Structure 1
Amino acid sequence: MQYDQLFTHKRVGSDKIPSGPRSGFQRDYDRLIFSSAFRRLQNKTQVFPLPGTAFVHNRLTHSLEVASVGRSLGKMTGERIASQFKHSNEEAYEFYKYELSNVLAAGCLAHDIGNPAFGHSGEKAISAYFVENAQAIIDGQELQNYFSENEWKDLCTFEGNANAIRILTHSFRGRFKGGFGLTYTTVASILKYPCESNAMDKGYKHRKKYGFFQSEKDTIKQLAWELNMLQESEQPVIYKRHPFVYLVEAADDICYSIVDMEDAQRLGILQKEEVVEAFMEVIRNINRPDENATKILGYFNDIKDTNEAIAFLRAKVINILANEAADVFIAQQDDILGGTFNNTLVDAIQDKCEALKKVQYLSRTKIYNHDTVLQIELAGYNVMSELLQLFIPALLKNKPSHREAIALKLFPYQFTEFEEKASPYEKVLSALDYLSGMTDEYATEIYRRLKGIVIPNHG
């Protein structure tokens, strides 16, 4: 891959390139931030259950912060890449100097947009439903036999990353062609796993999971062609990562690993001293010449408000890691462009920074296994499983029962493609579109109503 062939102003679902004071990449950002799919992230759990008293991050605030770091990474790397084209390619020079930051900010806004209610437990609940009910008989046929091998693999390993691509690019009923109509460049920046589900291989970072459903395969092929991405395999479809993915991924990795520590301190899961020690170790271990650990600690000690003091250190660590990630990207650019860089930027930093491994260890042992986190996972798993048990058979039956027919009437219009001539796979995706778009609160409320735990009213 070559830098001057990695971007395009072309958009999904349209051949028209808009004109005006805003660039197409700025329009991508604006379309995302004003979308209902993005707004719904405010009621989707990031790590901790949404609290009543202490403010912690949800998926919306997380995505906004990731976008901020992504924009910075775009400026840091973009200016260095732009210098390669200053006297040879004006279009590439202008893009990398002024627009890469907009692409990455937009990509960061969109990176979690496909996560269902209850996050990873919601993903696991969807997958488990199909695995556990593979032999369930619906209209005289086993559930698994309704689908092709590749379609079944999609359903049994439901993936929020692939769902994000679907939300952004699918032409939903009654909506615009091409979904959000984003540039191929922005969509490519969140395609972390550019392969289909039957090509997953944990030995490779770009195939650890999969990045698109069978329903979006043709869109991905078109995107890869427009952006000159390296194809690893035609059958199954596998591409090498687009280079911008590494920067969006780094912004996400930096934010969630560091900000989760801040939230855990606010909630009393980690003590102030634990967080301070972990953050200062990272600062000393990386030892950037422009960030003096002694001065940073001096400023920290002058801040008497505990939460504000931790926030100051968090900001310093994020800035240091962002600069390190930019340095790694430039240092490894030949391998990244050649499709041979089998790592993430943050993992590459961690390989030489033992202190960052300690942060990951604390997160894994004390945060992600905390009772409140496990409880929300279990609750979310149960809610999603029950809703699937109601919707999936109803969609596949030729003659749904009275109860099932009523359940199907709950689907918003844009998710009613099953009313038209659709394959079983497309019908099931309609249910997953509906379920994955729900917030934690809405999914719980629908569950309670359909189970008769509460009776809805018009008040």
Structure 2
Amino acid sequence: MNWEQLLSLKRFGDTHKRIRKEQDETRLGFEVDYDRVIFSAAFRSLQDKTQVIPLSKTDFVHTRLTHSLEVSVVGRSLGRIAGKKILERHPYLKEVHGYRFNDFGAIVAAAALAHDIGNPPFGHSGEKAIGEYFKSGKGRRFENILTQKQYQDIIDFEGNANGYKLLTETRKGVEGGLRLSYATLGAFMKYPKESLPKKPTKRIADKKFGVFQQNLDSFKEVAKELGLSPTGKDGDMAFCRHPLTYLVEAADDICYTIIDFEDGINLGLISEDYALEYLIKLVKDSINIKKYNELNFMEDRLSYLRALAINTLISDAISIFIAHEQEILNGEFNVALMDKSKFKAQIEDIIQLSVEKVYQSQEVIEKEIAGYKIISDILDVYTTALINKRESSSSNYDRLMISTLPEQYRETAGSVYSIILNTCCYVASLSDSAAVHIHNKIMGKQL
């Protein structure tokens, strides 16, 4: 893989090549990507989607939206710093093609901003709830109707693949979705493969999948334009990661490691004493003890430690990325950047404490259980209604339920797979509160 191709400004539907030197410096194409994501309806819905604590009533806790904004800020820094070093190593990118270090920052920031855009309500349990309905619930009736790969798309419903669908899929009057640059789409794709074979290798890019069967042709075009190296065998679609994906992933890893921990402290699930004990190991070389001791309020002390810890991990991630740049370009770097971190032990300690005190807290578990029931019931009602319509056997109740769907999700002229997948994507688009509201109506609890 080579940087000139990987930094493609091409967008869906382009008939002419976009040249970096011809870009308007006041409104770069990669910066347009960021704007398109942030103004999209799918991004706005993240303001009421769970990051860690479902349906939290406190302002302390991050939502998917605040998390995504923070990841984009960290990603921008990672991209800019890495971009500066890459241009020093490959001066032709600047001298011949006109790329600047800000381009790298803009690509990573836009991809990082969108990284959770396809995630369902109720956190990662939402993904599992959608999959479980089709794997072991009433949705299992579709197994013999779908191809093996189509069924795998559904039972392993993946927010990353749904995110790619949201960003790229053509709807009536909206060709190519948000029409992001292919460089940003490539950086967004953490798992550039289809759902089967499942985990064919231990490579980080094969850990999950990133594209539904419905969107394969689109992604093959993106991968070809970017020059991503193919890794699939026997006709299966899989590619090496875009190098900047490693920076998007690192930004996410850094933020959820530090900020989920901070949320736990703010909620009183983790003692503040742990903040000093655990975070000091990350910031011991940069902390100003006198300044820290002068901070009277817990939130100020936490903010100071958080900023230092994030800065420490940014520097570490950049060092790893640059040290392994050629391996990454060759498709030979098979782990996340932070797996190579010199602070890996400290990161794992923080994550383990967050798992014990936050992710497995009674409040989280109880709300995740409720989320399973809510998502299963909504899926059951809508898939039944839509499939009955397709088979011309709709009841009056079916027709009433379909009338409550946004127009783009009412279509039943396509395959059973497309109907089911689109219904899953509708459920995934719901905010936590909207899902609860719809479920209350279905259950007759709200008029």
CA contact (8 A) 2:62 2:263 kept: yes
**SS of residue paired to 1:428:** helix
Kindly provide the amino acid, as one letter, of the partner of residue 356 in structure 2.
T
Q: Give the alignment partner of residue 125 of structure 1, picking from 117, 129, 134.
A: 129
Could you list the runs of 5+ residues in structure 2 that have no partner in the other structure? none
Corresponding residue for residue 310 of structure 1: 302
**SS of residue paired to 2:113:** helix
Corresponding residue for residue 194 of structure 2: 196
Q: Summarize the Cα distance change of 1:124–1:153 in structure 2 as closer, same or farther, 3 Å threshold.
A: same
Kindly provide the amino acid, as one letter, of the partner of residue 185 in structure 2.
V
Q: Summarize the Cα distance change of 1:241–1:96 in structure 2 as closer, same or farther, 3 Å threshold.
A: farther
Q: Does 1:169 align with 2:168?
A: yes
Q: Give the alignment partner of residue 435 of structure 1, picking from 402, 423, 427.
A: 427
**SS of residue paired to 2:37:** helix
Q: Distance in 1 between matches of 2:232 and 2:54?
A: 41
Q: Distance in 2 between matches of 1:96 and 1:357?
A: 35
**SS of residue paired to 2:231:** strand
Q: Does 1:401 align with 2:392?
A: no
Q: Distance in 1 between matches of 2:6 and 2:318?
A: 18
CA contact (8 A) 2:48 2:433 kept: yes
Q: Summarize the Cα distance change of 1:88–1:30 in structure 2 as closer, same or farther, 3 Å threshold.
A: closer
Q: Distance in 2 between matches of 1:343 and 1:309?
A: 33
Q: Summarize the Cα distance change of 1:86–1:232 in structure 2 as closer, same or farther, 3 Å threshold.
A: same
Q: Does 1:147 align with 2:119?
A: no
- 1:387-442 superposed Cα distances (whole Å, 9 cap, x missing partner): 01111122222112221121111111222332xx3011111122122111110000
Q: Distance in 2 between matches of 1:15 and 1:318?
A: 42
Kindly provide the amino acid, as one letter, of the partner of residue 443 in structure 2.
K
Q: Distance in 2 between matches of 1:370 and 1:264?
A: 10
Corresponding residue for residue 187 of structure 1: 185
Corresponding residue for residue 240 of structure 2: 240
* TM-score, normalised via structure 1 length: 0.91
Corresponding residue for residue 139 of structure 1: none
Kindly provide the amino acid, as one letter, of the partner of residue 387 in structure 2.
L
Corresponding residue for residue 323 of structure 2: 331
Corresponding residue for residue 261 of structure 1: 261
Corresponding residue for residue 209 of structure 1: 208
Q: How does 1:345-360 map to 2 (within 5 A)?
A: 345-349=337-341, 353-360=344-351
Could you list the runs of 5+ residues in structure 1 that have no partner in the other structure? 137-141
Q: Distance in 2 between matches of 1:314 and 1:63?
A: 17
CA contact (8 A) 1:54 1:267 kept: no
**SS of residue paired to 1:233:** coil
Q: Give the alignment partner of residue 332 of structure 2, picking from 340, 348, 356.
A: 340
**SS of residue paired to 2:196:** helix
**In terms of mean alpha carbon deviation, does 246-255 or 390-399 score higher?**
390-399
Q: Summarize the Cα distance change of 1:134–1:208 in structure 2 as closer, same or farther, 3 Å threshold.
A: farther
Deviation at 1:5, TM superposition (A): 2.2
Q: Summarize the Cα distance change of 1:302–1:162 in structure 2 as closer, same or farther, 3 Å threshold.
A: same
- 1:296-334 superposed Cα distances (whole Å, 9 cap, x missing partner): x32211111111111110010001101110110000111
CA contact (8 A) 2:231 2:240 kept: yes
Q: Summarize the Cα distance change of 1:194–1:203 in structure 2 as closer, same or farther, 3 Å threshold.
A: same
**SS of residue paired to 1:95:** coil
Corresponding residue for residue 388 of structure 1: 379
Q: Does 1:376 align with 2:348?
A: no
Q: Distance in 2 between matches of 1:207 and 1:198?
A: 10
CA contact (8 A) 2:338 2:344 kept: no
Q: Summarize the Cα distance change of 1:25–1:219 in structure 2 as closer, same or farther, 3 Å threshold.
A: same
- 1:104-130 superposed Cα distances (whole Å, 9 cap, x missing partner): 110011000000111211111110111
Q: Summarize the Cα distance change of 1:340–1:87 in structure 2 as closer, same or farther, 3 Å threshold.
A: closer
| % identical equivalent positions | 37
Corresponding residue for residue 82 of structure 1: 87
* TM-score, normalised via structure 2 length: 0.94
Q: Distance in 1 between matches of 2:93 and 2:168?
A: 34
**SS of residue paired to 2:144:** helix
Q: Does 1:454 align with 2:446?
A: yes
CA contact (8 A) 2:191 2:208 kept: yes
Kindly provide the amino acid, as one letter, of the partner of residue 425 in structure 1.
Y
Q: Distance in 2 between matches of 1:121 and 1:358?
A: 23
CA contact (8 A) 1:107 1:186 kept: yes
Q: Distance in 1 between matches of 2:86 and 2:220?
A: 27
Q: Distance in 2 between matches of 1:77 and 1:340?
A: 19
Corresponding residue for residue 111 of structure 1: 115
Q: Distance in 2 between matches of 1:55 and 1:88?
A: 43
Deviation at 1:41, TM superposition (A): 0.3
Q: Distance in 1 between matches of 2:63 and 2:120?
A: 13
